[in-house]
Amino acid sequence: MIERIYLDETGNTLPYRNLAREACLLEAVGVGECILYLWQNQRTVVIGRNQNAWKECRMEQLEADGGHLVRRLSGGGAVYHDLGNLNFTFLVREEDYDVSRQLEVLVGAVNRLGIHAEKTGRNDVTVDGRKISGNAFYRADGHCYHHGTILIDVDKASLSAYLNVSAAKLRSKGVDSVKARVANLTDFRPGVTVEQVRQALAGAFGEVYGLSPERFPEERLDRAVLSRQEETFRSWDWRFGRKIPFTSELSERYDWGEVCLQFAVNGGIVTDVQAYSDAMDQELVAALPGLLKGCRYGGAPLAEAVGQLPQPDSGAERMVQDLQRLLVERCTG
């Protein structure tokens, strides 16, 4: 039961530092507490935990324009941030995690601005069928967060220029460009500001939880740990991962997301694997390489290995079944 709520805000716009603070707040949150962290990044592409940076982002153009690419802890797809965006993170212990309540804060905040919003799909908040907020989720060691972005007056030309969204994903949303799928709050209420959205979120946060938000005590964050986390998020290894000299690649899109499996095969044995996906279940995707490496390259043995994945709910069960079907149908030794 949430007994205390905290509001944490930062004027910093460097993405590595903001993600480091988010990670440290996740460790710091106590039982019965909920932290709402509000933050902004300048000219940044943020990719999901298991995505392929080179496929999701037009890196040369982003870097030429002085932008940043970062990889977050959570799963899901790539998003673009600039100062027309306001990012939020709800951080709680697992026993206090309530996504529906957290989404109620987002919808309530937008409604406070005189704009009718609703939760749709697997992780979106929309207005008139257009996406104004995407959400992603992360759990680790009994701590959880739910984070995302609210598009207020984002530069949609830059969003289209830097994000390389697959045609299959756009077709699944019934649009022909990422720009057509998303909307700014200013499209529905011209002149609305980031500060007004901040205030609306703080008000809705207190209203939904029935408590008055307090400022999160800065002394509860370890400065040395913050610095180490920032270096991790800034590092090449974290942002880009590793490339393998793959000999086989399988790609498919499902209603839970896209998946791409790359196999390096020697003598009929899988010697290395990379798994890329915008699926929300980042842990399941991250576990695939460890299960598939060392298997005989063929549909049946690879599908059998995937069957060892934990399937705690119907969503995970469906993902496993789809992956097994893909391997059986498309993997031939």
The pLDDT of residue 175 is: 42
The pLDDT of residue 179 is: 56
| CATH number, residue 277 | 3.30.390.50
pLDDT, tens digit, 9 for 90 and up, residues 61-76? 999 999 999 999 999 9
pLDDT, tens digit, 9 for 90 and up, residues 160-180? 999 987 545 444 444 444 555
For the segment 98-124, the average pLDDT, to the nearest whole number, is 92
Report the 10 Å Cβ neighbour count for 56.
Answer: 24
Angle between helices 282-292 and 314-330 (to 10 degrees): 40
Which residues have CB under 8 Å from 250's CB, separation 6+? Answer: 259, 260, 261, 263, 326, 327, 330, 331
For the segment 32-47, the average pLDDT, to the nearest whole number, is 97
pLDDT, tens digit, 9 for 90 and up, residues 183-227? 999 999 999 999 999 999 999 999 999 999 999 999 999 999 999
Looking at the structure, tell me whether residues 63 and 172 fall in a common domain.
yes
pLDDT, tens digit, 9 for 90 and up, residues 294-308? 999 999 999 999 999
**Structural domain range at position 205:** 4-239
Looking at the structure, tell me whether residues 235 and 267 fall in a common domain.
no
Q: Does residue 109 have a pLDDT over 90?
A: yes
Query: How far is the C-alpha of 97 from the C-alpha of 92, rounded, in Å?
Result: 6
Contact assessment for residue 143 and residue 94, using Cβ atoms and an 8 Å cutoff: yes
Contact assessment for residue 72 and residue 178, using Cβ atoms and an 8 Å cutoff: no
Looking at the structure, tell me whether residues 192 and 234 fall in a common domain.
yes
pLDDT, tens digit, 9 for 90 and up, residues 7-23? 999 999 999 999 999 99
- Structural domains in the chain (count): 2
Looking at the structure, tell me whether residues 174 and 300 fall in a common domain.
no
Looking at the structure, tell me whether residues 191 and 278 fall in a common domain.
no
Looking at the structure, tell me whether residues 114 and 219 fall in a common domain.
yes
The pLDDT of residue 162 is: 94
Of the residues 204, 239, 274, the one at which a domain ends: 239
Looking at the structure, tell me whether residues 78 and 150 fall in a common domain.
yes
pTM here is 0.87
Q: Which of 63, 76, 71, 77 is nearest to 22 (CA)?
A: 71
Residue 70, beta-bridge partner list: 46
User: In angstroms, what CA-CA distances link 208 with 108, 189, 213?
Assistant: 8, 24, 11
pLDDT, tens digit, 9 for 90 and up, residues 248-293? 999 999 999 999 999 999 999 999 999 999 999 999 999 999 999 9
The pLDDT of residue 294 is: 96
Looking at the structure, tell me whether residues 129 and 169 fall in a common domain.
yes
Which residues have CB under 8 Å from 224's CB, separation 6+? Answer: none
Looking at the structure, tell me whether residues 167 and 78 fall in a common domain.
yes
Looking at the structure, tell me whether residues 221 and 263 fall in a common domain.
no
Looking at the structure, tell me whether residues 151 and 259 fall in a common domain.
no
What confidence category does residue 243 fall into, taking pLDDT thresholds of 50, 70 and 90? confident
